[in-house]
Amino acid sequence: MAGIGKRAGFGGVAAMVLLGVFLLGACSPSPQVAEQAQPVLVMHPAPGPGTAVSAFAGEIRARQESALAFRVGGNIIRRNVDLGDRVKRGDVLAELDPADLRLQAQATRAQLAAAEAELARASADRSRYAALARQQLVSRSQADAQNAAAAAAAGQVRAIRAQLDVASNAAGYTLLRAPRDGVIADRQAEAGQVVAAGQTVFVLAGDAGREVAIALPETSIRQFHVGQPVLVELWNAPGVRLPGTIREISPAADPQARTYAARVTLVGAAAQAVELGQSARVYAAGDGGQTLAIPLSALQRGAHGAFAVWIVDPSTRTARLTPVRIGAIGSDSVPVLGGLSAGQWIVAAGGHLLREGQPVAPVDRDNRPVVMAATPAMAAK
C-alpha cells in the first residue's frame, strides 16, 4: 500500500508539472510576423480646372559646369582622362611640355644671381665712399651717387626675384588639375595639340547637383518666379514626374530666340534618377488661380469629419493621412485648395484599407511598381 501511495503521489506531481509547462507555453508571446506592404494605386495631383500648365523642353545639366584650361600656353604631351571619366579634386587631367618654362625659370635664376652680385659690389662701394666722405676725402655728391647705385641694385634684385617666382609658378601650371569632384562632360583638345593660355581643354560637370536647362517664353515670363515648384518628366520615362523648383531665371532675354534662360533644380532622389544630357520636359503652372485636382476615390474622411488624403512618404514608403481643403466636388474629381502640393504622391485607390503609418507598395494603373522620388519639402526634412 505504501508503494502504491508513493506511485500515486509521483504521478500527481508529474501531472502538475506538465500542466505548468502547458500554461507557460500558452502564455508565451507568439513570434511577430513582418507586416506585408499593402498595394495601392498612387499618382501625382493633376492641375485643376482653370490652371494654365505649360510644358517646356529641356536638357539635364550639372549645376556647376567648369571650362578647364591651362594658365600658360604650350604643347600637350599627356592626356590622362577620357570623356565620361569620373575625377576627384586634385587629379591631374593633362600635362604640357614643361621644357621651355623650366629654361625660362633657369634664365631668370641666373639673372637674379647677377643682380645679387651687382648689389654686393654696390653695397661695398657705398661703404667705402661713406668712410671717405667722413674723412672729407671725397665730395658729398659722390657719396650720394654710391648710395643711389646701391639702392638701385637692391631694387633690381627684388624685381628679378619676383620674376623668378612668376617663372617658377608658370612651370607648375603645366599640370591641369581637377578643381572639384565630377565627371568629364566634354573634351576639346588632344595630346600633341598646341594650346594657348585660357583655351578650353575639358568641361567638368561637378557633383553639386543636377538641373534642367529650359527657356521660358517672353510672352508669359511674368507668370514664373524663382522657387516655383514644377514637375520634370524624362523622355525615356514617360509618366514618371520628378519634383523640382525653378532656381534661377535670366534677367535678360536671348537676343535671337527672345526667350529667358532658366534652371530647374532636382533634389534628393530625383537628382540621382537622371543622367547628364538626357532630354526632359518641364511642366509648370503659371501663377494665379492655381489649383490641384484629385480623383474622388482618393478623398477620405479624417478627424472630426474633415476631408483628408493618404500621402505616401517616398523615403519610408508608408502612408499618412493629411487634411486638405477642397472645393466643389465634381462628377469624378475634386479640386484641392490647400494642404497638398503638386509633387506629392497620393493614394488614388485602396485608401479605405489603410491605417496611419502602414507600409505600402505603390503601383501605377498598369500594376507596375512605381519609382518614387522625394518632393523638395520632404528632402528638406
The CATH number of whichever domain residue 359 belongs to comes to 2.40.420.20
Of 156, 172, 188, the last residue of a domain is: 172
- Does 194 share its domain with 77? yes
Quote the CA–CA distance of 355 and 371 in Å, as a whole number: 22
Q: Structurally, how many domains does the chain consist of?
A: 4
**Residue 5 falls inside a structural domain:** no
Of 267, 285, 303, the last residue of a domain is: 285
- Does 321 share its domain with 235? no
CATH classification of the domain holding 167 = 1.10.287
**Residue 105 falls inside a structural domain:** yes
**Residue 17 falls inside a structural domain:** no
Is it the case that residue 259 has pLDDT exceeding 60? yes
Is it the case that residue 7 has pLDDT exceeding 90? no
Is it the case that residue 261 has pLDDT exceeding 90? yes
Of 119, 154, 172, the last residue of a domain is: 172
- Does 178 share its domain with 76? yes
Nearest-5° Cα angle at 273, 268 to 276? 110
- Does 46 share its domain with 116? no
- Does 168 share its domain with 214? no
**Residue 20 falls inside a structural domain:** no
- Does 181 share its domain with 192? yes
Q: Which of 66, 67, 47 is nearest to 55 (CA)?
A: 47
Cα torsion angle, 13, 18, 23, 27, sign: positive
- Does 233 share its domain with 145? no
Contacts of range 251-258, beta carbons closer than 8 Å, 24 or more positions apart: 253/218, 253/221, 254/215, 257/215, 258/218
Quote the CA–CA distance of 316 and 319 in Å, as a whole number: 9
- Does 89 share its domain with 104? no
Is it the case that residue 69 has pLDDT exceeding 50? yes
- Does 149 share its domain with 245? no
**Residue 6 falls inside a structural domain:** no
pLDDT band at residue 358 using 50, 70 and 90 as cut-offs: confident
pLDDT band at residue 214 using 50, 70 and 90 as cut-offs: very high
Task: For residues 6-24, give the mean pLDDT.
Answer: 47
Q: Show Cβ contacts of residue 230 under 8 Å, excluding neighbours closer than 6 positions.
A: 243, 244, 245, 246, 264, 282, 283, 284
Is it the case that residue 23 has pLDDT exceeding 60? no
* Cβ(119)–Cβ(154) below 8 Å: yes
CATH classification of the domain holding 198 = 2.40.50.100
**Residue 28 falls inside a structural domain:** no
- Does 218 share its domain with 130? no
pLDDT band at residue 10 using 50, 70 and 90 as cut-offs: very low
Is it the case that residue 223 has pLDDT exceeding 70? yes
Is it the case that residue 8 has pLDDT exceeding 50? no
Is it the case that residue 160 has pLDDT exceeding 70? yes
- Does 294 share its domain with 376? yes
SS (H, E, C) the chain: CHHHHHHHHHHHHHHHHHHHHHHHHHHCCCCCCCCCCEEEEEECCEECCCCCEEEEEEEEEECCEEEEECCCCEEEEEECCCCCCEECCCCEEEEECCHHHHHHHHHHHHHHHHHHHHHHHHHHHHHHHHHHHHCCCCCHHHHHHHHHHHHHHHHHHHHHHHHHHHHHHHHHCCEEECCCCEEEEEECCCCCCEECCCCEEEEEEECCCEEEEEEEEHHHHHHCCCCCEEEEEECCCCCCEEEEEEEEECCCCCCCCCEEEEEEEECCHHHHCCCCCCEEEEEEECCCCCCEEEEHHHEEECHHHCEEEEEEECCCCEEEEEECEECCCCCCEEEEEECCCCCCEEEEECHHHCCCCCEEEEECCCCCECCCCCCHHHHHC
pLDDT at res. 4: 45
C-alpha cell at position 154: 637692391
- Does 75 share its domain with 117? no
**Residue 14 falls inside a structural domain:** no
Is it the case that residue 320 has pLDDT exceeding 50? yes
**Residue 300 falls inside a structural domain:** yes
Quote the CA–CA distance of 8 and 263 in Å, as a whole number: 91
Domain extent at residue 240: 53-63+209-285
Angle between helix axes 99-134 and 140-172 (nearest 10 degrees) is 160
Is it the case that residue 287 has pLDDT exceeding 70? no
pLDDT band at residue 200 using 50, 70 and 90 as cut-offs: very high
pLDDT band at residue 51 using 50, 70 and 90 as cut-offs: low
Q: Show Cβ contacts of residue 44 under 8 Å, excluding neighbours closer than 6 positions.
A: 231, 241, 342, 343, 344, 345, 346
> Average pLDDT, whole number, for the chain?
81
Task: For residues 189-199, give the mean pLDDT.
Answer: 90
pLDDT band at residue 21 using 50, 70 and 90 as cut-offs: very low
Torsions phi, psi of 357, nearest 5?
A: 80, 5
